[in-house]
Amino acid sequence: MATVDLTEENFEEVVASHDLVLVDFWAAWCGPCRVFAPIYEEVSALYPDAVFGKVDTEAQPGLASAFQIMSIPTLMVIREQVILFSQAGALPEAALREVLDKVVEIDMDQVRADVQQRQGAPI
């Protein structure tokens, strides 16, 4: 699957309508972003059920700000509308595949129960 450009206009709809969404925050001037781009594209073909989105931080500063992106590239993995992974830095292909495999294995019922418990617990 080819990567999808994510914008302020389509971000929420894409995340809401897909179980697994990866988001690559990048910019054209960023050397590590350019190194990571072909890896990200190649791995996207291995996970046809996932959406591999890209947010150009220069064109979409509102999204970068909303997610407090301080360094690029930053990879975020969202499953069932829950951010399960967020890390700055370009990942090698094997590491990206490992992250995805682990995210797919997570018991989302348990994640939701943990979130519910934390929200109900006093701070």
- What residues are labeled active site? 30, 33
DSSP 121: S
Strand order in the sheet with 82-88: 4-5, 51-56, 20-26, 74-79, 82-88
Q: How many CB atoms lie within 10 A of CB 102?
A: 12
- Distance (Å, whole) CA 103 – CA 111: 11
For the record, the structure tokens of 40 come out as 């990200």
- Rounded to a whole number of angstroms, the CA Rg of the chain reads 15
The pair of structure tokens assigned to 105 is 């294995």
